[in-house]
Structure 1
Amino acid sequence: MLMKKIFTLIVLSFISFATMAQWTMQSTAFATAARGIKYISVVDSNTVWATAYDGANTANNIQEFTKTTNGGTTWTPYVIAGYSAYGISMISAVDNNNAWIPAYNATSGGGVILRTSDGGTTWNPQTTATFTAPNGFPNVAHFWNVDTGFCMGDPNDGYFELYTTVNGGTNWTRVPSVNIPAPVAGEYGVTGYYSVVGSTIWFSTNKSHIYKSDDYGHTWTLLTVPIATGKQFAIKFRSLNDGIIRMNESPYSAYITHDGGTTWNLISFFGNWYYNDYCYVPGTTSTWVSVGADATTPFMGISYSTDDGLNWTNFASMDTTQHLAVAFADHKSGWSGAFNNYGSDGIFKHYGSTFVLDTCASFYSDFSQSSDTVYLTVSPLVNFTDESIPAATSWAWDFGDGGTATTANPSHTFSSTGTYIVQLIAHHGSCVDTTTSTVEVLYASAIEDNQLNVNVYPNPASDVLYVEGLPIGEYSVEWIATDGRVIASTRCNESTLLNTENIGNGLYILRISNDKINFRKAVVIRHN
């Protein structure tokens, strides 16, 4: 139930010019003045959807959006009928006709996913994503195409309300709690604060956490970030490994990761990195654009960085307008949302050669696998499917046990127990990218977690961890990092105390197993 920070329109005493270098003013065409752009969903260089808010009275929830299908030459505004009590969290569009909006009831709680399939003229509720009041609150919806999507809401019934769909939202399936790390007390998501690259999703919370899924939202892991608990932070990834997070309040600290979010390093940046919004510029190596709307300090304008946020350069003459949201389609075309103060404005379009195209920047390798866990006594065969974007032209697979393959979609039979790191090196012409996953091979189909009554405490743990309730026997104990590496191992019996002094801070999977038992538990290590 946390809303992204938004700014009030402040009438300025200077005039915004229609054209500033490579930014051109366009009209959002809203009938009412002071409509600010809250969220932009770019389909391509022609089709863009953008939601609005009331910049004169930010407490007044409106249900308005605008859309262009010709690169912004003309924008058409719309009002969503029948949901006057609702606020709009964001919008996700896949083409000119199909878009989804997560909307929350600002009075009684609860929410709904709305879909249009006729370009925004009519919107229909998708009732199988229930978001039941009073705790239901949808923050995010994202679709990869007209069929495949996910949505995220605040904890309801004790765990985050996450859904997936394979038919455009006609049927949403809630992700079971066993597939989602439990939230801490008072933990929530933030409207529109998420990022997607391929099948991987990240969303941020107000408790120093990122939830991450690499399978279109079906299973989730928990990552911890070096931002103080209770603070909101935006999250944007440009690849499966590289992303930036930034606090949306003072001191506006920013951090970068190069391992998918496992570790983060502070960005000590130079220049004006505006804090209202920022985005990656697709098709570039490491270019980002930021926008600012603080007319009081003042700190408003548009800037860009070509080195992953280290150095920022202002676009000239853009500091006379409050800029609210930003998104790019490619290295040439992008939009910065503003307020429609003058009747012919409301949004700015960038088109030009400011940014250098890197033909390999948008290529990333990815794959899916038929199973994460197989058994030698049942069927140790795993099928792998290349999902690289754009489509790869050659493949080099390493299955972690000495086996290799060079086809797009190989199958591999494992012959020994263990945890194997599977690597794909994919090529698209001269472009190359590498990604990995893990396969767990057990001897026999064992008693699984949900059939056991095992108590693991405390969690988070510091120097010791107690394990009670295992069936009598000897067990192998493994600490598995979020990237699949086994970082420590030992042995224990059915009731034991584990020494965790030498386990570093972070999230791990504790696996305790033998030929009959396979117990796994997410454990956070937090040394004081």
Structure 2
Amino acid sequence: MTLRLLYLFLCFSVCSHAQFWVENASGFPLSNTGLSKIHIVDDNIAWATGYDGINPNVNVQRFTTTSDAGATWTAGTIDVGNANLGISNISGVSATTAYIAVHPRASGQIGGVWQTVDTGITWTRQSGALFNSATSFTNVVHFYNTNDGVVIGDPAGGYWEIYTTTNGGTSYTRVPSSNIPAPLTNEVGYLAQYTHLGNNIWFTTSAGRVYHSANMGNNWSVFNTPLSDFGGTNLSGDITFSTANKGMIQDNSGNLFITQDAGTTWNPVNISGTGFPYGGAIAYIPNSSRVVSTGGDTALAGTAYSTDDGITWTNVSTDQHVDVAFLDEDTGYSGGFSTISTQDGVYVYTDSVLSTYDQLATDGFSIYPNPSSEFINILSTQPIEKVEIYDINSRLLMEYSNISLIDVTDLQSGIYFIKVNANTTSTTQQLIKN
């Protein structure tokens, strides 16, 4: 595609989906403050941290939060008693209570976990998560609810320094080395490089590996990926999961890899069409085939979405987006840059193109649920005459007439294609069988 054709395509897409995002004020008082490390609590509450958008090496201890679905954001400073400590990420559990992972930026500093219960006015270190050895480095804190949380750090004492709590951080227990596969030589984690879904949590490493826990961080497994490093100078990546089994990796060149077995195996996604992902952050809409990609690099900035697990993409924006997070098909945010305290800095999803029923409007039919392990329902705007199920090699496996509820239990896990014939027209969509 020529640059002119690409430009025309992007302009058309932006005009067609001008309301995918609405940019609101992040509340940060300084211009060019970036918003990232977004954690969505529910359909009204979300928290995020700030960073220096001009010189990211400048240490910033700021947060912002919303309790009205992103319409307004209240920003504040994070006082942990040492202005030189770094803020790794933030995890909220309510409009008033949140936790931050704090990492050392110089020898002799001690990080850990701090909590606020007054919307960030005061922050208190939770001493149970020690992180006090010479190699301690706190990368991630995540709370699943008001009681259960996990904190993930680099290896210390020969194994990953991971703590769990069941009482809101009043006390923590370090996960024993027998519950965590051993790190490789010089393997470390990265700041806020994790994703979660239900009781599942995954984090990525400098060795291109993904650690996974299905029980809130108490037991772990590890898998290799096609990437050699998730945070290197030349190669980096982001990870997202739609279900406990289906996930996607996006590298900084926009290459995609998908897993259907929680990360045990990864296969490249063969992208087709004129749209493309951006190689920055990526986020699945949970329990769906819909995924959003954003880019914060000035050379490749924008937003794109896919409704078929990354095979085809629609580009909708060429603004810089430094992060992206979605709770469901209605609630999502992306980070931008503030200009003044009352303008810009956070993008709020306001479209309907990620809705379950958007595919119904586009193709005339929609498959639900997708992915599925047992039955699928086919919603159609026209009476269904025939349904055909094909495998990835275009072999016809099943054929039905005048039916909208189909049992797919006997299909092996994988990717299939559903062809629906209705009112002299036929349309095909992808089905993921768990």
Task: Tell me which interval the TM-score lies in, with the shorter structure as reference length.
Answer: 0.7 to 0.9
Contact 1:102/1:113, CA 8 A, preserved across alignment: yes
SS of 1:90's equivalent in the other structure is strand
Q: Which residue of 2 aligns with 1:139?
A: 139
CA deviation profile, 1:350-370 (whole Å, cap 9, x unmatched): 1132122279659999xxxxx
Q: Which residue of 2 aligns with 1:114?
A: 114
> Within 5 Å, which residues of 2 pair with 1:41-440?
41-81=39-79, 82-108=81-107, 109-229=109-229, 231-247=235-251, 249=252, 251-270=253-272, 271-282=275-286, 285-295=288-298, 297=299, 299-315=300-316, 318-319=317-318, 321-341=319-339, 343-357=342-356
Q: Is the 8 A contact 2:96 2:117 kept in 1?
A: yes
Measure, in 2, the Cα distance between the counterparts of 1:272 and 1:281.
18
Does the CA-based 8 Å contact 1:111-1:133 persist in structure 2? no
* Counterpart Cα distance in 1 of 2:145 and 2:214: 17
Contact 1:363 1:431 in 2 (8 A): no
Tell me, what secondary structure is at the counterpart of 1:178?
helix
CA distance in 1: counterparts of 2:372 and 2:90, whole angstroms: 25
Equivalent pair of 1:190/1:232 in contact (CA under 8 Å): no
Describe the shift of the 1:293–1:232 C-alpha distance in structure 2 as closer, same or farther (beyond 3 A).
closer
Q: In structure 2, how many angstroms separate the alpha carbons of the residues matched to 1:180 and 1:331? A: 34
Query: Number of paired residues?
Result: 346
Name which of 21, 32, 35 aligns with 1:23.
Answer: 21
Post-superposition Cα deviations, 1:140-167, rounded to whole Å, max 9, x if no partner, equal 1111111101110000111110111001
Give the Cα–Cα distance (whole angstroms) in 2 for the partners of residues 149 and 79 of structure 1.
23
Residues in 2 aligned to 1:99 and 1:37: alpha-carbon distance in whole angstroms: 17
Give distance in 1, aligned partners of 2:183 and 2:30: 41
> Which one has the bigger helix percentage?
2
What residue identity is the alignment partner of 2:257?
Y
Maintained 8 Å contact 1:241/1:261: yes
SS of the residue corresponding to residue 91 of structure 1 reads strand
Give the Å deviation of 1:178. Answer: 1.5
Paired AA for residue 122 in structure 1: T
Query: What is the rounded CA distance, in whole Å, between the counterparts of 1:235 and 1:22 in structure 2?
Result: 22
Residue 479 (structure 1) aligns with: none
2:255 and 2:279 in contact (8 A); partners too:
no
Distance 2:33 2:338 in 1: 6
Q: CA RMSD in A?
A: 2.6
1:134 Cα deviation after fit? 2.8
TM-score between both structures, scaled by the size of structure 2: 0.74
Cα offset, 1:333, TM superposition: 2.5
In 1: Cα distance, 2:27 partner to 2:370 partner: 33
Alpha-carbon separation, structure 2, partners of 1:340 and 1:261: 37
In 2, distance between residues paired with 1:431 and 1:170?
49
Cross-structure match for 1:369: none
Deviation at 1:200, TM superposition (A): 2.1
Question: 1:446-525 alignment to 2 at 5 Å?
Answer: none
Q: Provide the C-alpha distance between the structure 1 equivalents of 2:125 and 2:292, rounded to a whole number of angstroms.
A: 34
Shift, 1:313, TM fit: 0.5
1:483 paired residue number:
none
In structure 2, relative to structure 1, the CA distance for the partners of 1:264 and 1:433 (3 Å cut) is same
| Unaligned 5+ runs, structure 2 | 1-13, 358-366, 374-404, 410-434
Shift in alpha-carbon separation, 1:99–1:253, aligned structure 2, 3 A? same
**By how many angstroms is 1:133 displaced?**
4.3
Is the Cα contact below 8 Å between 1:332 and 1:354 reproduced in 2? no
What letter is aligned with 2:191? T
**Distance of 1:188 and 1:130 partners within structure 2:** 18
**Distance change >3 Å, CA 124–CA 364, structure 1 → 2:** farther
1:72-122 deviation per Cα after TM superposition (whole angstroms, max 9, x unaligned): 221111101223111111111122122111011212254111111222221
In the TM superposition, what whole-angstrom CA distance separates every residue of 1:328-358 from its partner, at most 9, and x where no partner exists? 2321232111001255111111113212227
Shift of 1:34: 0.8
1:314 partner amino acid: N
Instruction: Name which one, 1 or 2, has greater alpha-carbon Rg.
Output: 1
Letter in 2 for 1:348: Y
The structure-2 alpha-carbon separation of the partners of 1:360 and 1:147, relative to structure 1 and needing over 3 Å to count, comes to: farther
Structure with the bigger RCO (C-alpha within 8 Å, sep 6+) is: 2
Specify every segment of 5 or more residues in structure 1 that has no aligned partner in the other structure, as ranges: 1-15, 366-429, 435-528
1:432 Cα deviation from its structure 2 partner:
11
- Structure-1 separation of matches of 2:227 and 2:117: 39
Could you report, residue by residue, the CA deviation over 1:479-505 in whole angstroms, capped at 9, with x for unpaired residues?
A: xxxxxxxxxxxxxxxxxxxxxxxxxxx
2:89 is paired with a residue whose SS is coil
Structure 1: distance between partners of 2:147 and 2:124: 16
Do the aligned partners of 1:304 and 1:313 also contact (CA within 8 Å) in 2?
Answer: yes
Higher deviation after alignment, 159-168 or 36-45: 36-45
Following the alignment from structure 1 to structure 2, what is the Cα–Cα distance between the partners of residues 157 and 243? 31
Relative to structure 1, is the Cα distance of residues 336 and 105 closer, same or farther in structure 2, using a 3 angstrom cutoff? same
Letter in 1 for 2:241: F
User: How far 1:197 moved relative to its partner?
Assistant: 2.2
What is the match of residue 11 of structure 2?
A: none
User: Residue 178 of structure 2: SS of its match in structure 1?
Assistant: helix
| Alpha-carbon separation, structure 2, partners of 1:73 and 1:431 | 41
CA distance in 1, matches of 2:281, 2:157: 32
